């Protein structure tokens, strides 16, 4: 997996105190890139990767997947 360096998150998110983790996977759910802003717990890496993988494998947003699973 490639770690993204030199990337920037817009100042709006930082001012509002939002720090994010981003995991990018291809259509087969293989990791392509990853970004974790300063201030995020190291444990978010695993959660972020799993959410991205699930979204790719089921071809739906994580929130939609939750709604389908509880229906």
Residue with more model confidence, 15 or 34: 34
Q: Please report, for the domain that includes residue 64, its CATH number.
A: 3.30.450.150
pLDDT tens-digit profile of 17-71? 778 888 889 889 998 888 888 888 888 889 889 989 988 998 888 788 788 888 7
Query: Containing domain of residue 21, as a range?
Result: 2-70
State pTM to two decimals: 0.69
Does the pLDDT value for residue 15 go beyond 60? no
Domain count, the chain: 1
Do residues 5 and 34 touch, judged by C-beta distance below 8 A? Answer: no
State the Cα–Cα distance between residues 26 and 1, nearest whole angstrom: 11
């Amino acid at each position: 997996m490639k770690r993204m360096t030199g990337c920037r998150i817009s100042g709006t998110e930082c001012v509002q105190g939002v720090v994010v983790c981003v995991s990018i996977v291809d259509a087969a759910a293989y990791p392509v890139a990853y970004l974790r802003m300063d201030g995020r717990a190291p444990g978010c890496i695993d959660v972020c990767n799993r959410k991205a993988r699930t979204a790719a494998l089921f071809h739906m947003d994580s929130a939609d997947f939750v709604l389908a699973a509880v229906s």
